[in-house]
A and B are shown apart, each in its own frame.
Chain A
Amino acid sequence: MVLRIITNFFSRIFVGLFSRRNNLSIGFYGPPNSGKTTLANRICKDFAGKEIGKVSKIPHETRNIQLMEEINFEHKKKKMKFKLVDTPGIATKIDYEDFMKHGLKEKEAKKRAKEATKGVIESIKWLDDVNAVIVVLDALQNPYSQVNITIIGNLVARKLPVLIVANKMDLKKANLKRVEAAFPEYDVVGISAKKGKNMEEFYESLYRLVK
């Protein structure tokens, strides 16, 4: 608890430097198919009036960085402007045969795999250009996966403020407690980006993260 207060205090000072310069960028990171674009779309629809990208059940739908240059965030009289950076899911393996299981033809699957590998590299490179990060995790999956730990470890090493989102909370097997137990030193918000569940708390936490 004390550690979290200290971390948040320094995070706010650090991010405050950027927000005063009015060039705050918030990155959406996480493993593939955790709902990063679904959440980004909801925020963009709420504060910019349009969606940022396409979503799909097939992993690695987002294979390029997607940007929404100006989000005019306003929630309960709290205002801020930021650039939203939606990134391709970070993975340690990409097998075109997995895409074929989702009904893609071999040629299409190979193309998707090639683009997905480039997307992962691009996501990692963009870590240099964001001031705060929302890590979107699938609350149905094991949170102890090394990709999650690698992403969060990297953000800590870069001293970036982090908010963890446990997404897909509308589904029966979603387990918020497991995500909280895996990352006890971070704020974890359970939401359903698809159904818009608990977005109020998410927006509160988002504002706290960067202000």
Chain B
Amino acid sequence: MKSRTRTRTRKTSLKSLTLQFIPYAEISNLDSVNRIKKLLKVILANKIILLQGKLRADEETRLIEDTMALIGSVKGFKGIELAVLSPQISTNFFDNMKRGLAKMLIGDSDSITIIGPASIVREMRRDPNKIQLLLKKK
């Protein structure tokens, strides 16, 4: 029994895991191509990105397209896991107007995006209020 527990612990242990925080200000002035390039560069370095804000819908699909193109050309790269947490949309007109105005002035920075390489992150379980990161066994 003891030896089985020991084996399991050894199998699930990770040597290190890097989470890289990217503030919204770091990508707000970049165009879509360079935003995605920046994110993929971090992912290819086997780091998990915590991005303040979120990508636009067209940028998200562009990220998926570029990811697919990289799977064939970068050895060991299997794609990404991606999840976005956004605040619940209020039904109050004035709340929405305030949020819309803030979005116009400082950008869409009230969400959090997590992107990780699929070789490290097995699954991201998302529900409206939380994201669970399930890591791959080494």
Which residues of A pack against B, CB within 8 Å? 90-95, 113-114, 117-118, 120-121, 124, 127, 142, 144-146, 149-150, 153-154, 156-157
Are the C-beta atoms of A124 and B61 separated by less than 8 Å? Answer: yes
Q: Is the interface of B mostly helix, strand, loop or mixed?
A: mixed
B73-105 to A contact mask, C-beta < 8 Å, 1/0: 000001111111000000000000000000000
Chain B residues, CB < 8 A from A117: 68-69, 71-72
Provide the bound-state CA to CA distance between A153 and B55, in Å: 11
Interface of A is mostly: helix
Residues of B at the A interface (CB closer than 8 Å) are: 56-58, 60-61, 64-65, 67-69, 71-72, 78-84, 118, 124-128
Contacts A93-B79, A118-B68 known; A145 to B118 CB distance under 8 Å?
A: no
Given contacts A95-B78, A144-B128, A157 and B57 within 8 Å (CB-CB): yes
Known: A121-B69, A144-B128, A149-B84. A157 touches B64 (CB 8 A): no
Chain B CB within 10 Å, residue with most, of A93, A94, A95, A149: A93
- What is the CA–CA distance of A103 and B82 in the complex, to the nearest angstrom? 28
User: Are B126 and A156 in contact, with the CB atoms below 8 A?
Assistant: no
